[in-house]
Amino acid sequence: MRAVTLRSHGGPDVVVVEDVPRPRADGPDDVVVALKAAALNHLDLFVVRGLPGASPSFPHVLGADGAGVVEAVGPAVTRVKPGDRVLLNPGVSCQRCEYCLAGEQSLCETYRLLGEHLPGTFAEAVRVPQWSVYPAPPDVSWTDAAAFPLVHLTAWRMLATRAAVRPGERVLIWGIGGGVALAALGIARLLGATVLVTSSSDAKLARARELGAEVTLNHAAADVPREVRRLTGGRGVDVVVDSVGEATWERSLRMLAPGGRLVTCGATTGPRVETDVRRMFWYHHTLLGSTMGNAREFAAVLRLLGAGTLRPVVDSVVPLAEARGALERMASGAHFGKLVLDIAA
Ligand SMILES: [Zn+2]
């Protein structure tokens, strides 16, 4: 089958499209899904570059997000049957450890992601354990079904579970345009928050306003903490969503209101940050880490997708063979929303 693979680490130029063996449902809980669409995540760029702790065997098939039709199932599979329209939870957990048994699958001792530790979705088919497969809501396109899972699961856990955003609170999201930031905008609005977003692009800020952001700040031009103080009467915001890391961390902490929470799921500019502990204890600030989410949270966001309450923002859709160009677009930061690969085409 055709697949987007790595044979070494580097930039997007090391990515190739080649034929690899089609997976089979050899294990009792295996499900093979014939993919119709897959979606890119920033994770893919990190995998291309090479991540500490992840040493895939080459050729390695990229891609965490995907949706398609069940092609084959192992003998113990009860959740789905061949022909079902499904989408995938990119996180694969063991189902047996202390955390899995407590329903906290993303804390699993052997938590793995499709396309990072396991063969991924940028291919005509993927093999996953049955508990990673969920019915795709009817009336949701293949594009939306593939674009939705990873970023909405991530943003839901960050805002609804970890930061526990309440109606009327102010939430600031750095760098609107990426998939998690846009999912966070939709979810923060759904939870009743007032949303402030930043970008270095006025065009992206204008689009964020159309999606419901009430305050937009160009972080290339404005002193963001000072503007936030001015706009909130000196108070600051209740929650900051910071997946940027080194470049923004200190500013994020400076604009938190008393009792505020900083929630992070990444560090795109670097992981070593400085925290003034005096401000943290005096203002009762909380720092929250978050990665992906559990099965209950996945089911929750899928219901919202099915109801039409949440929908992914899609930047563009290209054929599987043009995955490298899509990765380059993502690396450039020019995109607004999800980049999707059309595999059925
Ligand atoms: Zn586990």
E strands in the chain: 2-6, 16-19, 30-39, 60-61, 65-73, 85-88, 91-92, 112-113, 125-129, 133-135, 170-173, 194-199, 215-218, 237-241, 256-264, 286-289, 314-319, 338-342
Indicate the domain borders of the chain. 2-148+312-342, 152-289
Q: 298: CA distance to ligand 1 center in Å?
A: 16
Write down the mean pLDDT value for the chain. Answer: 96
Q: 204: CA distance to ligand 1 center in Å?
A: 39
Does position 195 have pLDDT exceeding 90, yes or no?
Answer: yes
Q: 283: CA distance to ligand 1 center in Å?
A: 36
Residues in the chain: 345
Q: 164: CA distance to ligand 1 center in Å?
A: 25
Measured CA to CA, the distance from residue 341 to residue 2 in angstroms comes to 13
Does position 321 have pLDDT exceeding 80, yes or no?
Answer: yes
Checking 46-50 for CB contacts under 8 A at 24+ apart, the result is 47/6, 47/115, 47/116, 48/6, 48/9, 48/10, 48/11, 48/12, 48/14, 48/15, 48/327, 49/9, 49/10, 49/11, 50/9
Q: 306: CA distance to ligand 1 center in Å?
A: 28
pLDDT (0 to 100) of residue 245: 94
Q: Residue 169 — very low, low, confident or very high, per pLDDT cuts 50/70/90?
A: very high
Q: 338: CA distance to ligand 1 center in Å?
A: 29
Does position 345 have pLDDT exceeding 80, yes or no?
Answer: no
- Segment 139-149, tens digit of pLDDT: 999 999 999 99
Measured CA to CA, the distance from residue 235 to residue 298 in angstroms comes to 34
- Segment 41-80, tens digit of pLDDT: 999 999 999 987 767 789 999 999 999 999 999 999 999 9
Q: Are 275 and 246 in contact (CB under 8 A)?
A: no
Does position 6 have pLDDT exceeding 90, yes or no?
Answer: yes
pLDDT (0 to 100) of residue 32: 98
Q: 235: CA distance to ligand 1 center in Å?
A: 41
- Segment 75-113, tens digit of pLDDT: 999 999 999 999 999 999 999 999 999 999 999 999 999
Q: 114: CA distance to ligand 1 center in Å?
A: 16
Range 152-289 has CATH code 3.40.50.720: yes
pLDDT (0 to 100) of residue 57: 87
According to DSSP, the residues that pair with 19 across neighbouring strands are: 2
pLDDT (0 to 100) of residue 54: 65
Q: 284: CA distance to ligand 1 center in Å?
A: 33
- Segment 222-254, tens digit of pLDDT: 999 999 999 999 999 999 999 999 999 999 999
DSSP string, 174-215: SSBTBHHHHHHHHHHHHTT-EEEEEES-HHHHHHHHHTT-SE
Q: 92: CA distance to ligand 1 center in Å?
A: 9
Does position 344 have pLDDT exceeding 90, yes or no?
Answer: no
pLDDT (0 to 100) of residue 56: 75
Topology of domain 2-148+312-342 in CATH is: Quinone Oxidoreductase; Chain A, domain 1 (3.90.180)
Whole-prediction pTM: 0.97
- Segment 23-38, tens digit of pLDDT: 999 999 999 999 999 9
CA 4 to chain centre: 20
